[in-house]
Amino acid sequence: MKDKSLESIGEFGLIDIIKNNFNVKNNSSIVGIGDDSAVISKSKDEYFLISSDMLIEGIHFDLTYHPLKHLGYKAVSTNLSDIYSMNGFANQITINLGLSNRFSLNAIQEFHKGVKIACKEYKIDLVGGDTTSSKTGLIISVSAIGNVLKKKLTLRKTAKKNDIICVSGDLGRSYLGLQILEREKSVFFSNPEMQPELSNYKDLIEKQLKPKARKDLIEKFAEINIIPNSMIDISDGLASDLIHLSIQSKLGVKIYEEKLPILKSTILTANELNLNPTTCALNGGEDYELLFSVNEKDYNTLRDNGIDVTSIGYFTSNEKCTLVSKEDEIISLKAQGWKHF
């Protein structure tokens, strides 16, 4: 077989190859590679959930503008998001750190201050991990452990035809926060006496630097007795994550541009940067909002209880993923994985 470059395969292609190569064999492995968390047997009524993610300096974060405290918070909350998106609750995390010798004890303690704030906010414990040296920069690998009632487990592959597709919060904000931070960084490098102008973009930048995981929504689901048919957290971008749900559920999706929840501040900033707000919402990524589907009755219950979610479209039987534009054009959605290779 001819060898291939990673660039030509892409992130999702590589995950598929690994997934197809590693079928699960133990009875205790309920769900393996391919959802937001792995699912492992626990007791008569419950499953364990485990998710794991790695953040690498220069790829996932830039310490010239990402304060270590916020980074500690973000490393935790983005991992917990993968537990909540299974409709479960997180209880523990482990953190592996690779540290170059430019980091001092104070720097590491700043990072851990953020970890501690997240532990307190989400009521989880840091129970282990590894610290090692790194030749180049900071490397953070987090595993999150949680549990879910068997009857409440929500997967990517179980969306139903005609399900209403919902998204929590708003989209595109984190991506635009990143663009502003990158712009101010390049302004600073070309003219170090310029002060960065960030005050107008506070909510965008905050969403990028210390995004919250939507534990609150999973608590609401439990309160009002809603179990979504399918769910994923939006890390790669709405379009990519919708396509994950679509492929795994063997259904199509149809969403409407005019329904996408985009804040006014996001639209204004996109216009300022000559970016299309809809493209930012579809492909920006790092929203860490929950994307899920419910039947019409459950959607009405969500709406009647004033839950912070927006319906953006529905699942179809034709396996196509499309966006209906404001001008009534039908546009195919495209997945985006890594942009790094």
Stretch that binds a copy of itself, among 6-14, 192-200, 210-218, 323-331 (CB under 8 A): 6-14
Does residue 52 belong to the site contacting a copy of itself (CB under 8 A)? yes
Q: What is the full DSSP assignment across 229-293? A: SEEEE-SS-HHHHHHHHHHHHT-EEEEEGGGS---HHHHHHHHHTT--HHHHHHH------EEEE
Q: Which residues of 267-292 are buried (b: 16+ CB within 10 A; e: fewer)?
A: bebbeeeebebbebbbbbbbbbbbbb
Residue 54: how many other CB atoms lie within 10 Å:
13
Site for a copy of itself, residues 119 to 148, rule: CB under 8 A: 119, 123-137, 139, 141, 143, 145
**What is the distance between the alpha carbons of residues 314 and 329, in angstroms, rounded to a whole number?**
17
Site for a copy of itself, residues 137 to 196, rule: CB under 8 A: 137, 139, 141, 143, 145
Q: What is the dihedral of CA 116, 121, 124, 126, to 10 degrees?
A: -10
Does residue 69 belong to the site contacting a copy of itself (CB under 8 A)? no
Do strands 252-256 and 321-324 pair parallel, antiparallel, or not at all (unpaired)?
parallel
Q: Which is nearer to a copy of itself, 98 or 237 (CB)?
A: 98
Does residue 325 belong to the site contacting a copy of itself (CB under 8 A)? no
Site for a copy of itself, residues 11 to 50, rule: CB under 8 A: 11, 14-15, 17-18, 21-22, 24-26, 28-29, 31-33, 37-38, 40, 42-43, 48, 50
Does residue 98 belong to the site contacting a copy of itself (CB under 8 A)? yes
Does residue 273 belong to the site contacting a copy of itself (CB under 8 A)? no
Stretch that binds a copy of itself, among 8-16, 185-193, 282-290, 299-307 (CB under 8 A): 8-16
Does residue 103 belong to the site contacting a copy of itself (CB under 8 A)? yes
Provide the sign of the torsion angle of the four alpha carbons 126, 129, 134, 140, taken in this order: negative
Q: Which is nearer to a copy of itself, 129 or 196 (CB)?
A: 129
Min separation Cβ 157 and a copy of itself, Å: 15
